[in-house]
Chains A and B, each alone.
Chain A
Amino acid sequence: MSDHGCIHLNNFKAAKGIQPYKVIHSFFVTSTSNEARVRKAVSCLCHTCKSYKDRLHSCLHCIFFGCYVKGHIQEHAKTKKHFLAVDLCYGNILCFQCGDYVYDRELLVVAKAQWSETAKSLSLGEFYRTWEPSLYEVELLKKNPRRRRVVENSTIGLRGLINLGSTCFMNCIVQALIHTPLLRDYFLADRHHCPQPNRCLVCEVSSLFQEFYSGNKAPLILHKLLHLIWTHARHLAGYEQQDAHEFFIATLDVLHRHCEQYSQVAPLIVKDNPHHCNCIIDQIFTGGLQSDVVCQACNGVSTTIDPFWDISLDLGPTAGSGGPSSGLSKEGGGAPTSLLDCLERFTRAEHLGSSAKIKCNNCQTYQESTKQLTMKQLPIVASFHLKRFEHSSIQDKKISTFISFPEQLDMTPFMSHRRNGNNNSAAPNGLHKNGEDAAFSDNRYSLFAVINHEGSLETGHYTAFIRQQRDQWFKCDDHLITRARLKDVLTSEGYLLFYHKQILEYGRNSKV
């Protein structure tokens, strides 16, 4: 079928132009203004049977709406001899003389422009469209006729990394980042454009993705990446053993700062984030942590929301463990044994104690208070850091207790609106405001990477388990990549755990 319409449509266009189609489209197919939407709601009914569905069509010649399923638009066409109609669901043109829908290039362009305008008027970003290669892309595809097909047992995307002398901390983080689904999609779609390709870390990461997916199986040497990290995050320079967690955060920070510097508007903004930064790192890794401090005298709540990239979880027994959150909790308890335990503890209201009185904004006096952390906004990739390395004035030690973690994780119980509902009394209208969209959102995550530390505090070795192609697991030990079972992953010690959100929501101001 061609996209040059038909003789009947061409005759119509010659007589009346494209304006009739444009008007019908902008009011009744995709309404481009509020006024149009009201009109559409009120008047888009079959003039014969008053139905609003059943493939409603509008006559292109006069003001008439009729449904197709019960034959009312056909009837109109026959009696009035108005042989062209517009389908009001998709905007396609039906020619009764040809007996089918016809495609017209000129009108398709009109329709496309209207879609964009509608999306804009609803602040929905851009509506989805199937990919149509540009002229440049057509050229590229012609020049490179070989296609790579990813089959079930394909090992594409897997490459070992040479250890450059205690750089396993870097290797395992690189493996985790390379196998972060959304980050992979971003880089393989060539979304990073850079004015300074030589010194840019993001470009280096981008070319790394190309290397991983080139099909070459030889292990990679990350000397350039290492050098760039050393230049941008000086505290990591040198050939000493570094902490993988520290390296992870430093890497995100360097990438984020790079992206910010040369930022361009990202076409698809995945969700609000508290950083107000559009860079790919923030879109994927940033969440918002809500902290509620409740005054014990007047019950006044002071709430702050801070961005986070990862969540560090205490593993020691509840009372008197090290770190800044050493305050006593309401319920004392043993050490946590699962990730859920840790998260439950992390989001539990804790009493700040009598020695830490805080000035309450509500009653303006210094009072004892409780503090509670909850998830206000979940990131797309949730990274958990199990604090296995304990540093205190007495001794440094590694906690090797087994902490179980699930393959599928639902974060709903740790969301602000849920937690506050059960515990301290949050303002009722605040609760409602969150509840509206948050209560029905899907907060399920699935595990896609685990980083393990083997050995002691002084000498140890990092390895990573990564998921590839939905449900296959591999162990990455520097240059060695071996197949692993899910059981091996779930029974490993676990130092850094990476979870990916299962369902993504679209659009920043999306009403949906």
Chain B
Amino acid sequence: MKTSPHQTLVKAGDRDGLKELLRRRLVECGWRDEVKLICKEIIKENGQDITYDALLAMVTSRARSRVPDVVKKELLQKIKNQLLAQEEKLKLT
């Protein structure tokens, strides 16, 4: 069976590592705090009983657009690297 890039990254544990890196980068650049504030606002406006889905629908596009380009670029580069490295390993074995 052909493995997808996603599967390759999960198998090697790279995906967990990359996810962790992304998490920290988003904290560092203040994205997490920003999104937290947006969520708080929405909850204040709509009342405490707002569901996760409703919150998600209102936050997602705003949150996405706030991810800095450098963070996206870095992640893209690192994902590429990891996939290339995994490919190299396969060739060797």
Contacts and interface: CB of A to CB of B under 8 A. Distances in A.
17 contacts: A37-B12, A41-B3, A41-B6, A41-B7, A52-B4, A52-B7, A99-B51, A121-B13, A124-B20, A127-B23, A437-B81, A503-B74, A506-B20, A511-B12, A511-B14, A512-B21, A512-B82
Chain B interface size, as a band, is: 20 to 34
B90 interface: no
Interface in B40-58: 48, 51-53
B27 A40 contact: no
B75 to A, nearest CB: 10
A121 B20 CA distance: 14
B14 A512 contact: yes
B62 interface: no
A100 B11 contact: no
* Closest A-B pairs by Cβ, 3 of them: A41-B10, A41-B7, A41-B11
Given A31-B16, A511-B14, A512-B20, 12 more contacts: A31-B13, A34-B13, A37-B10, A38-B11, A41-B10, A42-B7, A100-B53, A122-B17, A124-B16, A442-B74, A511-B13, A512-B82
A239 interface: no
A40 B13 CA distance: 10
A436 B81 contact: yes
A440 interface: yes
Of B3, B7, B51, the most chain A CB neighbours within 10 A belong to B7
Interface string B56-90: 00000000000000000010011001100100000
Interface of B: 3-4, 6-8, 10-14, 16-18, 20-21, 23-24, 27, 48, 51-53, 74, 77-78, 81-82, 85
A100 B78 CA distance: 35
Contacts of A31: 10, 13, 16
B40 to A, nearest CB: 14
Interface string A330-352: 00000000000000000000000
A283 interface: no
Nearest to B55: A100
Contacts of A440: 77-78, 81
Contacts of A100: 51-53
A12 interface: no
Contacts of B3: 41
Of A37, A44, A442, the most chain B CB neighbours within 10 A belong to A37
A33 B4 CA distance: 20
A402 B77 CA distance: 39
A40 B10 contact: yes
A124 B27 CA distance: 18
Contacts of A52: 4, 6-7
Contacts of B14: 511-512
A511 B11 contact: no
Q: Is the interface of A mostly helix, strand, loop or mixed?
A: loop
A122 B16 contact: yes
Contact of B23 (A44, A99, A128, A436): A128
Contacts of A119: 20
Chain A interface size, as a band, is: 20 to 34
Contacts of A127: 20, 23
A124 B85 CA distance: 18
Given A41-B7, A436-B85, A511-B82, A124 B52 contact: no
Nearest to A89: B19
A30 interface: yes
A506 B21 contact: yes
B20 A128 contact: yes
A64 interface: no
A128 B24 contact: yes
A510 B78 CA distance: 12
B11 A512 contact: no
Contacts of A503: 74
A118 interface: yes
Contacts of A510: 17
A389 interface: no
Interface in A96-122: 99-101, 118-119, 121-122
A70 to B, nearest CB: 14
Of A31, A442, A512, the most chain B CB neighbours within 10 A belong to A512
B13 A122 contact: yes
Nearest to A125: B20
Nearest to A118: B16
Contacts of A38: 11
Interface in A435-454: 436-437, 440, 442
Contacts of B10: 31, 37, 40-41, 44
A101 B51 CA distance: 8
A99 to B, nearest CB: 6
B30 to A, nearest CB: 13
A512 B81 CA distance: 9
A34 B24 CA distance: 24
B83 to A, nearest CB: 12
Interface string A424-443: 00000000000011001010
Interface string A494-512: 0000000001001000111
Nearest to A122: B13
